[in-house]
Structure 1
């Protein structure tokens, strides 16, 4: 099997808290970057979580991407939603608008 180099995707919410998508971890977590305290955990039905970001009306929905790369047939049977985009509606948290970069 070819080794791949994946990094966990991250985003920040309007309170300055860090959200991390865990590759191989079946979850997205919310952390206080100043104290290192785990604040929240959202479990997902797939192992390979690739990224997360806020979107939707008022940036209150969390969009989470996943992958199915290198999963065996058995793992794919256990995780039929692998590779899907998940939306956690109205999380109770809000993202921040993106910045327009001009060169």
Structure 2
């Protein structure tokens, strides 16, 4: 695989996204449902897509289905459209805080 083809990979090497797990909005569901994909990987996926000018749930899901992309973002397998949509919905609640954290 030519991981160098994914230009966002160097960015992911220098930024930590584990802080996302501290937000209540990303906590496991009360009903016991767990997330298949963790918020740090999904956030990397969204950063990659936005860098590539890919927006919207379906286009993002299509981009993240590419093996080189999902592997470079740290996924064990590509996320479903439901996982992408759920993450984006949750992220909307904390996006200002996340942005502040990244630029501090």
Normalized against structure 2, the TM-score is what? 0.26
Larger % of strand: which? 1
Which one has the largest radius of gyration?
1
Normalized against structure 1, the TM-score is what? 0.26
Larger % of helix: which? 2
Structure with the bigger RCO (C-alpha within 8 Å, sep 6+) is 2
